[in-house]
Structure 1
Amino acid sequence: MNILVVDDEKSIREGMKRTLNQTFPHFQVMTVHSCQDAILLLLNERIHVLLLDIRMPGMNGLELLAALQRSHRGTKVVIISAHSKFAYAQEALRLGVKDYLVKPVGKEQLIRTMSLLEQEWADDMQQLSEKDWIHLNLNYLREAVFRRWVQGLDIGRFDVSRLAEKHPYFHLVFVQLEGKQDISLHHFVVENVLTEWFAMNGQGFIVSLEGNRVLGVVTLREEVEAACADFERGARAHLERCLNEPYQFVMSRRLTDFHAIPQEVNALLHGGAALVQQELPARKNDDAVEIALQYIAAHFQENLSLEKIASIVYLNPVYFSQLFKHKLGIGYKEYVTQLRMERAQELLANRALRITDVAKLVGYDDLRHFTQVFRKKFQVTPSDYRLELS
């Protein structure tokens, strides 16, 4: 099995990898320190088990888990968390995780969980017939073959007629990303947004082409087809809200010859007149970050999740996290923590406030957690810091 450990603490990542390598030498164990890096790896590797920290700088584990629900349903997920609160566990279970382990995770507990998952995976494989296995991996197979076919490359004896039967009529949807950075992440956003929009309005699929291009094939329900312009406007609106990256959007007229798709795509890529191109301007990224900073400054004492702030500026959480770190040089969670700690220092100078009051005023209902964060930041407890001020 392929195992991916996602945790921002190096000692935990390496400790888990060491334990797994010693106990399960036949596993391939990979590690990354952020959800963004996890997405990049998941786009290129088949991961069977994901060991995922629930709270990390930037995009958190629950947000990653929600994003992967549609595209990686076969991946078994185990949450690793320092928080035993029921709300976290409840949300994780709702998103389909296999287990919820509270840090510090002992070796025996990790080994026991992985042994159960290995047996479960082996049982799944035994129950799958060859036909079932092909069906399970159809998305990967179809994307690889369809991509080669569209680009005029050899696909051996694979017959696209089965796909053609599902799409007696269809539209081609083409997105070309204009940005130079984080292409894999932007591909991930486009694929997930369009896949969801296609499912809401008909049936279709998405494939990534070379470089910065994404191609979709969609057969709309008849009532949607009758208002095709609304479908197109909706697709563009969803992309613009979630992507916030310069791109071009192209949607074909209604087509009926599935086997002519390579010619249609070739005409599209070379400026063919059969398809109408519409360019979508990028939003001003600096404005989005500035709005976010103003909101954070006014509400930092509240429960400010990355997802909530991203929704305020109408951005996809993955993209917002990347943009925020690129603009400020630090991650979203680190920035909010830094802001809270600086404010806490100011409030501790006011001896009329109890330390419990200070904690709540900067967004921490749990005094113990506040003390831990403060000490980690300044190498001194809030109480000792207040004494030093005198």
Structure 2
Amino acid sequence: MNILIVDDEKVIREGMVRTIQQHAPSFRLFIAASPEEAVQVLRSHSIDLVMTDILMPGMTGLELMKLFFERTPRMKWVVISAHSEFAYAQEAIRLGAKDYLLKPIGKERIVAVIDRLHGEWQNETALSLDAAELKSSLKYLREAIFQRWASGLDIGCFDMRPLIQRHAAFHLLMVNLNSDRSTHVEHFMVENVLSELIDQHGHGFVVSFDKQNLLGLVTLHSACDMLNLTESIKAQLKRIVKVPYQVLPSAQMSDFGLIPEQLRKLRLTASAHVYEPKEWGGERAIELAVQYMKAHFHEDLSLERMAAYVYLNPVYFSQLFKQKAGQGFKDYLISLRMDQAKLLLSSTGLRLADIAARIGYQDIRHFAQLFRRKFEMTPTEYRQQREQPQINIHNTITDQ
């Protein structure tokens, strides 16, 4: 259990820390000398129990409690007060504090409160884990049953009637991910987006149908809301999904028996689709790639590495890069490096070997060949050309 002790009196803080450490050395303790420090701790760490003084300079313990109580409902609070501040302690209990400690605080009292709240915390944690496991199990059961149903397979004696009654009129919504690499992360993000937006526009659920497809079933608040839902999904996915994708809605349906046939039609539509970069945020992917190349041009950059950086197939990335950047990946990288070489040649006295190394070439001859091919002169000739005007100007001034 993680405990935060908040008190502006050092003696009390240290005394409580010693008592708790001696009684329960496995607990992780945090201390704060002010509410402001406490806020930083609460924002940075997962705290299970806060033991806070009532009256402190600046923010009071009650104000601190009000600030976090609704945001973290499972976090427990114990207030510390003097006898003269007992009315504040009563108010804290009314707000939801689990207990209060009166100064001077006895060790036995601290231990008793800690033990009781630790027991509550253990029970709640166990219940929370059980609920999470049950929810997860039901989700996987629903996915398995619905997947078999949608595939036209036998579902045994499972009763679909409650589900059918809940969705008298519904739409199917398929998101197809097109990538030859693992899309586990994309699946997770798409599932979250679909679930959240379905809940906003109606009620339903999402199942991960296979490696490429997620299938949602939704009953809408309004019959005309499907277009809004679809556009909202596309807008969200465009920002976060870095592989080609499609969002395919069905017309409104009322017969669960037609789901297998409708799913087959959606899959046929997906397989016949020609992807356009604008559909999945390809422009943003190339922007990210260009930004990375400008910052890391001196490193060993390969097309495969950059494609992986923006989660694209290398062949597709190459085609998209040329379309968006106006030149191929390799030529763009060479241009970046050569422009940096010109800058170093004209503004520093570095040796050619050092300049080549700084822009990503260990072979000085290869660097010189690329430079000459691009600018029709050698690096040395370019440096001499940049120096010549300065010499002429200097001589002119001297002659005068």
Output the TM-score relative to the length of structure 1. Answer: 0.43
- Scaled by the length of structure 2, the TM-score of the pair is 0.42
Higher relative contact order (CA 8 A, sep 6+): 1
Higher helix share: 2
